[in-house]
Amino acid sequence: MRTIVVGTRQSALALTQTGQVIDHLREICRQNGIEAEFELKKIVTKGDRILDVTLSKVGGKGLFVKEIEQALLDGEVDLAVHSMKDMPFELPEGLVVGAVPLREDPRDCLIMREGRTIDDLPQGAKVGTSSLRRASQLQHYRPDLKIEPIRGNIDSRLRKLETEGFDAILLAAAGLHRIGWSDRISSYLPPELCLPAVGQGALCIECRSDNDIVLNLLSKYLHEPTAVAVAAERSFLGRLNGGCQVPIGAYGELTGDKNDGRPEVKLTGMVGSPDGQQMLKETRTGTDPERLGRELAEALIAKGAAELLAAAREE
Ligand SMILES: NCc1[nH]cc(CCC(=O)O)c1CC(=O)O
């Protein structure tokens, strides 16, 4: 019997989503007559150790993945489960994305003390988020809101809503759905108001590029429409040289049309100033996800996106 060691962070969300992935992989093994056992290995990352500082101030890409990637390279784990939005654009030599499974809800949502939607928030309400992307788009829509940083895992952020006097906090809906806390969601922000982070709601299953057994297993777990949409979003991010600590958002989805047998992707991207005063946004469609992402980024660069991002990085 082969044992496949699965690396994960140890937050409630990470453990839940890794557990769900292992359940799916067990089922795939059963259906395909593959004999394998799965074993969990919890790994602490830099992002987990520095929970009191706004991430954009910590700097550096891949805060939540580096240590896990090292364990993959060292052969301590055979595959790793990450939130796609925590993945830097470039992977280390020797590692690949083995599978992108079906995407969860990509939207951001509001958890409010009172009321339901963003329009119910009183003038000057205090809203918690440490994401420049969420802050930028929220301030663009409601310049009166007071955005204040909030960090920590989902559970500790929900606690802070009560203890630190926030009127609302913003979280990714996918995380709450996965850990079974959907009933805490007051309302969803439509992508027209708040474009999600690149890859939000999707998972990334990473493994060594020479591990044929794991690669073969993961190929059966791939969800092609999610993979194509996320590839377009990540290409957009890569061309803008962005991590998750800059005011960049993007959302790709398949239109249902095909050209030359390839699915057509509709990709919307945004780059804003942290205060939301400036907001660049464009939508394009195409069938080559890498090219589509690059071209959308270049369209925004032509409108001044590079300068906006340079200014946001300075702050
Ligand atoms: N920034 C941390 C992070 N990374 C992934 C998720 C969960 C949602 C997802 O899988 O996209 C979250 C929490 C959040 O943003 O609310």
The residue contributing the CA closest to ligand 1 atom 10 is 201
Looking at the chain, the whole-number percentage of residues with pLDDT higher than 70 is: 96
For 26-41, b/e burial (b = at least 16 CB within 10 A) is eebbeeeebebebeeb
97 and 207 share one domain: yes
Segment 20-31 shows an average pLDDT of 98
Q: Which atom of ligand 1 is nearest to the CA of 86?
A: 4
Q: Which atom of ligand 1 is nearest to the CA of 106?
A: 11
Residue 285's CATH number: 3.30.160.40
Contact 297, 232 (CB under 8 A): no
Asked if pLDDT for residue 89 goes beyond 60, the answer is: yes
Could you give the 3-state DSSP secondary structure of residue 196? Answer: coil
- The domain in which residue 85 lies consists of 2-101+202-222
Task: Give, using CA atoms, the residue closest to atom 5 of ligand 1.
Answer: 83
How do strand 279-286 and strand 262-272 relate by DSSP bridges? antiparallel
Our answer to whether residue 86 is catalytic in this structure is yes
pLDDT confidence band for 58 (50 / 70 / 90): low
How far apart (Å, rounded) are the C-alpha atoms in residues 230 and 90?
Answer: 14
Tell me the C-alpha distance between 278 and 307, whole Å: 11
Given 131, 165, 189, which residue is the final one in a domain? 189
Does residue 119 share a domain with residue 87? no
Note whether residue 210 is domain-resident. yes
* CA-proximal residue: ligand 1, atom 1 (nearest): 86
Asked if the model's pLDDT at residue 238 lies above 60, the reply is yes
Q: Which helix (H) or strand (E) holds 127?
A: strand 126-128
Q: What was the pLDDT predicted at 48?
A: 85
Structural domain count, the chain? 3
Do 128 and 151 share a domain, yes or no?
Answer: yes
Q: Are residues 80 and 215 in the same domain?
A: yes
Residues 68 and 209 in one domain: yes
Q: Identify the band that residue 60 occupies on the pLDDT scale cut at 50, 70 and 90.
A: low
How many angstroms separate the alpha carbon of residue 108 from the centre of ligand 1? 9
pLDDT tens, residue by residue, 201-226: 999 999 999 999 999 999 999 999 99
